[in-house]
Chains A and B, each alone.
Chain A
Amino acid sequence: MKYGGLILANLFRKKMRLALTIGSFAVALFLFGLLAVVRGAFNQGEEIAGANRLVVANRASLIQPLPLSYADRMLRIPGVKLVAHDNWFGGIYQDERNFFGQFVIDVANQRQAFPELVVPDDQWQNFVKDRQGAIAGEKIAQRFGWKIGDRIPIKGTFVQGTWEFNLDGIYHGARPQDDVSQFWFQWDYYQERVPDRFKGLVGWYWAVIDNPDNAARIAKAIDQEFSNSAYETHTETEKMFAAGWVKQMGNIEFLILSIGSVVFFTLLLVTGNTMAIAVRERTAELAVLKAVGFSDRFVLALVLGESLIMAVIGGTIGLGLAKLFTVTVGDPTQGFLPYFRLPLETIVAGLIVALGVGAVSGLIPAVGAMRLRVVDALRRV
């Protein structure tokens, strides 16, 4: 690192400018980090979707139910290994702002359908035996400070009254991206209390299939099985279902990409301008370096190196702050974006983007410095 002193001295030449340029990178990469977090949160459903799971919903709308009897008929279709059902409950815990997903689950098939959502055996057994039992994701339990054995009251919305649950277990995800913010309770308890018009009706089915390659054929077969009935179905892969869910909220991907592009283009202009000024100010010095015997490539690397160092420092600060934000503040939507995390891959991608911007913005001034003729440069001074 015998050139370290030279590089550092040049970097700290104008401390305010250095701070502002690094600050620009930090702000841009902080925004990049948050946008990536939001994008990841919206796309989480797609990312965690089981490749061998199909979602079977009412063709008219997801909020329209399907008969419980469909399960057996689906199981008879070749390729369908397992069928589980779910209902959306939509209750309120203490306050409407305390949103989290509550699901009426199919106790017999839940664990086989979702092996990635892990419940310890003893807790699961207690839950199975307890009609009013419930299982919460570790994130939601942590959020409300729930412990196993706690009594949890939830006020019904479309099903009136207060529902009391015993927390028998807490599940966690086998992968970091798994949704651990759900609340599950038993189908039998639900059936016991709902009005007659809701009895025997499920919200949607999960069909676990033998081979993801057969998904299209099996989905078609399921929909054909129930065509021309009172409850026609619409079957698709879990991934497509999740993607459709996100699309209902608008083109989030485009929005995030647009904002990100504007931010980075602006950063490119700011940094490019800074580097151009920095090089112009030191024309004579660069000429002297060349006169002394430093090569054109060295001068190129010197200027480019400064740009890249600023990018890395600013990028690290920005991404560090974004990570800190996700860890300390967390999901600002109070539960709508349960997967509000900044994964390592995104941090690495952010640093690569920062380096890219640093390289592009430093390239033109660096090439100019490289091509600088000593005689011309000294004549200008």
Chain B
Amino acid sequence: MPTPTLFMPPRHYLNDGYGIKSWLLTRDHKRIALLYLAGVTVFFFIGGAMAVLIRLELATPVGDLVSDETYNKLFTMHGVMMVFFFLIPAIPSVLGNFLVPIMIGAKDLAFPKLNLASWYIYIIGASFTTYSLVTGGLDTGWTFYAPFSTVSSTSNVISAALGIFITGFSSILTGLNFIVTTHRMRAPGMTWFRMPLFMWSIYATSLIMVLGTPVVAITILLVAAERLFHFGFFDPRVGGDPVLFQHLFWFYSHPAVYIMVLPAMGVISELVAAFCRKQVFGYSFVAFASLGIAVLGFLVWGHHMFVAGQSVYAALVFSLLSFLVAIPSAVKVFNWTATMYKGSISWQTPMLYAIGFIGLFTIGGLTGLFLAAVGLDVHVTDTYFIVAHFHYIMVGGTIMGYLGGLHYWWPKISGRLYPEFLAKLSAGIIFLGFNLTFFPQFVVGYLGMPRRYHAYPPEFQVLNVLSSAGASILGVGYLIPMAYLMWSLRYGKIAGANPWGAVGLEWTTTSPPPTENFAETPIVTWDAYEYGGKLEGHVA
């Protein structure tokens, strides 16, 4: 706990060089993490603004706020911005960049220049997509389905697609950097099974980034080539098959869901251990569950296409494989709860987010089983049931994990504490606002309200008003942390090296850490999460 004797280290990565150049040309993974933090925050609020307009439009059954065409562009750009420029990079590029070298006792990632280049690639890609947003928008849905995207749509498909193509390389190079770093940069004694579980989940995520992203890159390139040069890959007029586009697209875009949620699971493992003061129950099961999810995630894309005309037998196999993903996911949920059992739980903000994650992810995961079942999926395909399901995973999962991790490591990142009461309050607001926004969507979707329309039958209005009300609460919940985290940079209490009394190499160095992370390369002789053992006294 903070005491008046705590002080900021005289020399740390934040005061190691001042001025814009020292940031824009930095090769320090910690500064690059903060560059990403700025980037993803901007795109989160752009995507969020679209969501506000969508929910405002849906407060009434008739399309009165925006035209149908504008509405199509709103939900498309909401999805594109949130998926490609916030959810996918958020945890790996911000928390992963900051923590991966520190957690394994390295001075930096294996390729620091490549890491900086990844950020620039991300920004360039985002600029292209933003360009298409401000010059008329995009109306294909975030999924770019052909032949609408290749032939019919008159909106700015090419610049938006190019932006996603470019940003994909940021993702690939970040994953590559993490993989090589994990293999080659671990400190002496930091064996694979001594690594924090966050590292395992980032490693599994990196595998998906490296294996999946190139496939969506080529797919998007084919869409652009088809628009530009009238190539015929997905054009039925010359014998091309639009369903092939869906196969190629979902081959990446389903695993992309695990790019979003696996790192959040890694964060939750850290939080649960730190705030229950216990070794994570079944460490190796949780570690291998991450790899299991990454592998299985590549084999289930067909469940997005149960109504797209794929063969019945393919649908059966995809259905079965999709059910299998529930096993490693459930292993994690059970192991986190088993870790909490008889732990000495302290209810600080990160733990509130962890509990929130476990609850929301469980709902999101279980409704995912509904969708893996072919018969039920046919009933709810393209309804708000789907929308609610994936928001429970992406928002209830990824953003809860992201915010929990951001609060947990904020003292390490900034050297200062955030105001605990406000943080707890906003965690509560977010949880309530989230459920009020998205739970009614399960109901309205099951009753038959289709997604992607700006008007709907009046009998759905009550549920939609509830959802819109929840969204406004959720929006407030996101603005409060934004405000107090910025405030804490200057006025927060000095955190000290280890404000949580947590174990893990990141808590053995100063807050904020020096540029080279550790005064000396640590030699690791202990397992992760040795709570209540020799380590806790040793790092306090």
A complexed with B:
no
> A residues within 8 Å of B by Cβ?
none
